[in-house]
Amino acid sequence: MALLTKQHLGQLSAQVPAKRMRVVRWRDLRLWAGLVIIVLAMFAGAFMLSRGEQTTTVWRASNDLSIGSAPIATPVTVALGEVQDQYLPASEPLTGHLRWPVAAGDLIPRGALGYSPLLNARLVTLPVDPLHAPVNLAAGDVVDIWSTPADSSGGVSAQPVLVLPSITVAEVAADAVGVGGEIAVVVEIPQAAADQLVAAARSGLIDLVAVPIASQQVS
């Protein structure tokens, strides 16, 4: 029994290393296979991310742009994905005027250009007190024109009247100061409204009220 036991032990001891080597080789194979799968997954993920983060350079409004104004913009590089064709690329020149308002910092949509100017438009110069006009008033801004009729003594006592709503400013000549300190503001109006505006400017005090971008109507 002792001899048989030694023989069995010898056989067992000879077989153990072989089994261990086979187990180690199998584990190494699975380890390398796992590493290969991880590396492939990383490359696939990076490829998908790179496809989703392709960038393009488009135009972004430098300031609030009103309806009818010429676009003032700077190029910016962004990732737009599938909607990039909806915006004007910086490779295309900015020509024409805006059909709808664009807020400062927003990207300029491709369809925003193509404003149709007023037919039979007229340019009227208004004397406006700087304190009765929006701060930093500029060409392209949209304003409501109000008039407060003057009384017989030259003062104003009546209620202000809305003369014309949503009128585009064509030019602001801040250096052309009138006798009373007024600045010259040129507005573009329909021909049919010219007499109404001229009469309002002669009979009372003119106020220009800014129409915010969010309140301007899309043409």
Query: Residue 19 pLDDT > 60, yes or no?
Result: no
Name the 3-class secondary structure at 112: helix
State residue 189's pLDDT score: 92
State residue 219's pLDDT score: 53
Query: Residue 200 pLDDT > 60, yes or no?
Result: yes
Query: Of all residues in the chain, what percent carry a pLDDT higher than 90?
Result: 26
The residue ranking higher by pLDDT, 143 or 26, is 143
Q: pLDDT band at 6, cuts 50/70/90?
A: low
The residue ranking higher by pLDDT, 206 or 13, is 206
Please name the residue that has the structure tokens 């699975």.
30
Q: Are 90 and 105 in contact (CB under 8 A)?
A: no
Q: Which residues of 38-53 are buried (b: 16+ CB within 10 A; e: fewer)?
A: eeeeeeeeeeeeeeee
The residue ranking higher by pLDDT, 12 or 121, is 121
Q: pLDDT band at 114, cuts 50/70/90?
A: confident
Query: Residue 124 pLDDT > 90, yes or no?
Result: yes
Q: pLDDT, tens digit, for every residue of 171-199? A: 898 777 766 788 999 999 999 999 999 99
State residue 146's pLDDT score: 96
Q: pLDDT, tens digit, for every residue of 71-89? A: 889 999 888 877 888 888 8
Please name the residue that has the structure tokens 């301007």.
216
Domain boundaries, the chain: 1-52, 56-112, 121-215
Q: Which phi-psi region, left, alpha or beta, contains residue 63 (left: φ > 0; alpha: ψ -120 to 50)?
A: beta
Q: pLDDT band at 1, cuts 50/70/90?
A: very low
State residue 199's pLDDT score: 94
Q: pLDDT, tens digit, for every residue of 25-57? A: 555 677 667 777 887 777 766 665 555 567 889
**Tokens linked to 12:** 């067992």
Q: pLDDT band at 215, cuts 50/70/90?
A: confident
Query: Residue 153 pLDDT > 70, yes or no?
Result: no
Query: Of all residues in the chain, what percent carry a pLDDT higher than 70?
Result: 73
Cβ within 8 Å of residue 78, ≥6 positions away:
55, 56, 57, 58, 107
| Closest to 148 measured CA to CA, from 112, 92, 202 | 202
